[in-house]
Amino acid sequence: MAEIIKIEGGHKLNGKVRIGGAKNATVALIPAAILATNSEVNIYGVPDISDVESLSILLQELNVSVTSPTPEHFQINTSQMKNVDLDHEAVTKLRASYYFMGALLGKYKYVRMQMPGGCYLGPRPFDLHLKGFEALGANIDYTQGYYTISAEKLEGAKIYLDFASVGATINIMLAATLAEGKTVIENAAKEPEIIDVANFLNKMGAKIRGAGTNVITIEGVETLDGKAHEIIPDRIEAGTYIIMAAAMAEDVTIENIIPLHLDALLSKLIEMGVNVEVGMDYARIRSSESLKGIDVTTQTYPGLATDLQQPLTTLLTQATGTSSVRETIYAERFKHCTELQRMGANINVIPSQANITGPTPLFGAKVEATDLRCGASLVVAGLIAEGVTEISEVYHIDRGYDDIDNKLRSLGAKIWREEK
């Protein structure tokens, strides 16, 4: 039996919603914790998402104990850890399982695991991770779906990334932390989640400088000790709720955000005519008279996040005039447009770009969440649409949004689940 989400649209949203810990930081922080030698790591603000369940399973495979004294608190103990081949199905469910490559290579100089999975969004530069490991002195063998990465020793190197990849930046950082000598990552990604992981590693005894800039320097150390860390708020979850509020709010406050991380989105929403008030750690959205079409181009941070492009596309169906959305990160990230067309959206997709003409009334339909952020865009559409929207493949949504049903119900949305 598969679950579906149903949303009865047209209900105005009111109230407050609190944003949880950042998914894209969490999926790297948990593998980073295994770099600690024979010690306990406490991570706070862990979101209740299925990706975290998959990571917990992989920790248990490595004989690392995981307990949760409270739902958002993870205690990770590495004292009985063993380096085993990672071939559990959890690897194939979760693209970020590749962070275990960098962590295990750094700690043991050997890792063998299956090809990581996750949402398909077109080619992703996974070869950059491997080139980084090779630059540090590792040998890589790919046979029958398994990567075997090994090194007699890891030595610091200068590594230039052809593309400012978040995953490659973090993975090389994990491997280089326990390497000998100095590693320099040039054209590094600058996302806030990278700073969060670097801060965590530095607390444990790493020597990382420059996180958040395009040049990161890592002086290798011999060991790391477990420490406590609180995850930054999720800027993509925050942005998604801000977009939902822009579409349907009478008066909604999104709490526990870092506004700086959302600058690109907030400036675009203000350009559209959304009624936004930004405080130190919140954004308040009140109903807007009318929205106007804008042009959007996704960029690496601090530009507009590709992960917010899909929910934003839904909002643009309600704006007057023609809007264009150009995708520079993942060229194939437009599967949500086909689903939005089923609901009445006027969208024309050409390579790497969607042109949206609005405003168009949306109506409830049966649609499919083809990936995580497509799912988010369909939830936004369901809130707007007349009638009931039925979303299938909702496990994608649960990979990245903690308790989305209850959070939306608390704001006045009519949303529920059924078995199908």
110 and 9 belong to one structural domain: no
16 and 66 belong to one structural domain: no
CA neighbor of 257 nearest in space, from 234, 228, 240, 227: 234
153 and 282 belong to one structural domain: no
189 and 49 belong to one structural domain: yes
Q: How many domains does one find in the chain? A: 2
* Annotated catalytic residue, options 119, 175, 176, 266: 119
Look up the CATH number of the domain holding residue 59: 3.65.10.10
- Say what the pLDDT of residue 1 is: 79
User: Is 24 known as a binding-site position?
Assistant: yes
Q: Is 119 an active-site residue?
A: yes
Q: Looking at the predicted structure, is the pLDDT value of residue 238 above 80?
A: yes
51 and 200 belong to one structural domain: yes
H or E element that contains 228: strand 228-230
209 and 153 belong to one structural domain: yes
Q: Looking at the predicted structure, is the pLDDT value of residue 123 above 80?
A: no
15 and 136 belong to one structural domain: no
Domain span at residue 354 reads 3-20+233-419
Domain limit, last residue, from 230, 262, 289: 230
Q: How confident is the model at residue 93 (pLDDT cuts 50, 70, 90)?
A: confident
Which of helix, strand or coil describes residue 32? helix
User: Is 6 known as a binding-site position?
Assistant: no
CA neighbor of 116 nearest in space, from 130, 137, 131: 130
Q: How confident is the model at residue 200 (pLDDT cuts 50, 70, 90)?
A: very high
- Say what the pLDDT of residue 125 is: 56
CA neighbor of 185 nearest in space, from 218, 155, 232: 218
Domain limit, last residue, from 171, 204, 230: 230
204 and 74 belong to one structural domain: yes
- Say what the pLDDT of residue 248 is: 98
Q: How confident is the model at residue 96 (pLDDT cuts 50, 70, 90)?
A: confident
Cβ-contact 82, 110 below 8 angstroms: no
Give the side-chain half-sphere CA count within 13 A for 243. 31
Domain limit, last residue, from 198, 230, 262: 230
User: Is 203 known as a binding-site position?
Assistant: no
Q: Looking at the predicted structure, is the pLDDT value of residue 118 above 60?
A: no
**What would the pLDDT profile of 44-88 be if each residue is shown by its tens digit?**
999 999 889 999 999 999 999 999 998 899 999 999 999 999 988
198 and 247 belong to one structural domain: no
384 and 396 belong to one structural domain: yes
Which of helix, strand or coil describes residue 254? strand
11 and 44 belong to one structural domain: no
Q: Which string of DSSP letters, residue by residue, matches 363-413? A: B--EEE--SHHHHHHHHHHHHHSBSEEEEE-THHHHTT-TTHHHHHHHTT-
Average pLDDT value for the chain: 95
User: Is 95 known as a binding-site position?
Assistant: yes
48 and 129 belong to one structural domain: yes
- List 11's β-bridge partners, or say none: none
**What would the pLDDT profile of 272-305 be if each residue is shown by its tens digit?**
999 999 999 999 999 998 999 999 999 999 999 9
Rounded to an integer, what distance in angstroms lies between the CA atom of residue 299 and that of residue 312?
Answer: 14
**Which residues, including other chains, have CB under 8 Å from residue 123's CB and lie 6 or more apart?**
none
Mean pLDDT of the region 242-265 = 98
Cβ-contact 106, 179 below 8 angstroms: yes
- Say what the pLDDT of residue 94 is: 80
Q: Looking at the predicted structure, is the pLDDT value of residue 124 above 70?
A: no
Q: Which two tokens stand for residue 72?
A: 């958002």
